[in-house]
Amino acid sequence: MKITEIKQAVIGHNIVLRIVTDKGIDGYSEIENTKESYIGAVVPYFAGLVKGLDPTDVSYVMAAMKRAGAFKPWGAVVSAIEMACWDIAGKEAGVPVYKLLGGKVRNKVRVYNGSFKTEKMKETKAPDGTILGGQYEKMDSPEAVGESMLALSERPEGFTICKMAFGWHARNFWKQFGLDEYAYNTYPPMNGSERTNRGSMLTERGFNALVEYVDRLKGVIGDKIGLALDCGPGFCAADALRFAKAVEPYHLLWLEDMIAGDYTPHTMAHVYRDITMQTSTPIHTGEQIYLRENYRELIEGQCVNVVGPDPADCGGIAELKWIAEYADLHGIHMAPHGTFDGIFGMAALTQVCATMPQNYIAYEYPAGNPDWWYDIVEGLPDNFLRDGHVEVWDRPGIGVEFNIPKAEKYLRPEDKDFFR
C-alpha cells in the first residue's frame, strides 16, 4: 500500500486531512483549529515528504517528516498525518487502533469538560472567530461558574472533572473584583486579547483575588467535581509558588501552565521544578510541546506532577503513548490536552488513552464544533459519553467515518473535490 495523495478541507472550525492510498483505504484526521493561511499552506510540503510510503508503516512515515515539525503550531501537520496513518493501519488490519498500540487496559476513558458547552455557558471567541475553550470567562462570579460546573456533572454526560481558564489565562479576570491595577507592570496585549501584565509580580490585592476566587468556587462545588485551573502562562515564579501553597487545602487536581505553556516555545523546566518541589498542589504543563525529546527534561527532572500533551501537536498518538509511559516511570501523571481537536481527534484520544498506564487521569474532551459535526460522521456509539467517561468502541481504525453525502454539504466551493 502506498500514499498517493493528501487532501485537505476546512469543515467547520478545523482543517481535515484525507490520506488517499492506492488500495482504496482512506485515513482521516483533524488539525487543531483552522489556521489555513499558514498551517494549511504547508500541507503540500509534508505530503511531498511521505508520498509513496506505506502508511501502515507509521513509524517510518513519522521518521520521514518529523524533522520538519516544531513547537505548536508547526508540529500540527506532522501530528495529523500520523493519526490518519493509524486510521489506515487499523482499517487495513480490521481492528481498532488500540489493538495496534498494545491493547486496551480500560473499557471506558475518563474525560474532562474541554470544549463541551451547556446552555449556561457563554461562547467565547478569539478575534479570528475561533471558539475558545474558556467557556466560563464571561460569567460574572465564581458562584455562577460553580453552578455551571454542577450542571455539567448533573447532565447525562456527567463530567467528574472541570477545568477553567483562570488568572492570567482568563480575559478580564481581575475586573470581576474591580481591580484594574493587580500587577506591578503592564505589557502590550497578546493576540488582540486583554491578557496583559504577563510575568509581572502581582499586587497583594491581585494575589488575594485569586485565592478568594478559588475559595468561593469551591464553596459551591465542594468535593462533587474535580477542579483544575488553567492559569497562564504569566505568573512570576514567586507568585506561582505562593499561590500553589495558598490553595493546598482545596485539593485541586492541577494548576496548568503557570510559568510556560500556551504561546511559549520552551518549557522553563528548571523554574517549574523549584515550584513543584515546594508544594503539594499538583503542577501541570505540556500541551504545546512537540516530540518526546522535548518532554525529557520535564519528566526526568520531575519538574511537574502532570504532563498534558496534545496528540494534535506532540507528534500524534504513538508519540503521546510513549510520553505517557515514560512519565509513568517517573511518577508523573498524564492528562492530555485536546479541546480543539474535533471528533476525529476525540476518537484518536479515546483509542490511545484506553492503552495508557495507571498514571492516566483524563483527557480534555473535544466537542463537535459546530454541533452539526455529529450529523456528518458515523461510528460513534449511542450515548458514548456518560458519567464522565467515553466508552471505547471497536470499529476498525480510529473508529469514525464520514457520511460523505451529508459531509459534502458543508464543504466550501474550493474544497468540493475533497471526497473525490
Per domain, the residue ranges of the chain are: 3-96+403-415, 99-396
By the 10 Å C-beta count (0-12 exposed, 13-18 middle, 19+ buried), 246 is classed as: middle
- Strand order through the sheet with 389-391: 363-364, 108-112, 389-391, 385-386
Which percentage of the chain shows pLDDT scores above 90?
79
How does pLDDT run across 3-22, given as a tens digit for each residue?
A: 999 999 999 989 999 999 99
* b/e per residue 290-315 (b: at least 16 CB within 10 A): bbbebbeebbebbbbbbbbbbbbbbb
Joined grid coordinates for residue 5? 495523495
Residue type, 190: M
Which residues lie below 8 Å from residue 197, measured CB to CB, with a gap of 6+? 168, 182, 183, 185, 186, 187, 234
Q: How would CATH label the architecture of 99-396?
A: Alpha-Beta Barrel (3.20)
User: Is the domain covering 3-96+403-415 a CATH 3.30.70.3450 domain?
Assistant: no
Joined grid coordinates for residue 416? 468540493
Strands 161-165 and 389-391, by their bridges, are: unpaired
Average pLDDT over residues 63-71: 96
Q: What is the pLDDT at residue 114?
A: 86
Q: What is the pLDDT at residue 340?
A: 93
Banded pLDDT at 126 (limits 50, 70, 90) = very low
Which percentage of the chain shows pLDDT scores above 70?
92
Do 99-396 and 3-96+403-415 fall under one CATH topology?
no
Q: Could you tell me if 316 and 100 are in contact, meaning their C-beta atoms sit under 8 angstroms apart? A: no
Q: What is the pLDDT at residue 223?
A: 97
How does pLDDT run across 37-48, given as a tens digit for each residue?
A: 889 999 999 999
Average pLDDT, the chain: 91
Indicate if the pLDDT at residue 314 is higher than 60: yes
How does pLDDT run across 376-402, given as a tens digit for each residue?
A: 999 999 999 999 999 999 999 999 999
Please report how many Cα atoms fall inside a 13 Å half-sphere around the Cα of residue 210, on the Cβ side: 28
Higher pLDDT: 303 or 371? It is 303
Which residues lie below 8 Å from residue 48, measured CB to CB, with a gap of 6+? none
Which residues lie below 8 Å from residue 243, measured CB to CB, with a gap of 6+? 207, 210, 211, 231, 235, 255, 258
Q: Which residues pair with 227 in a beta bridge?
A: 162
Q: What is the pLDDT at residue 173?
A: 87
Question: How far, in Å, are 1, 91, 102, 106, 380 from residue 96 at the CA level?
Answer: 19, 8, 11, 14, 13
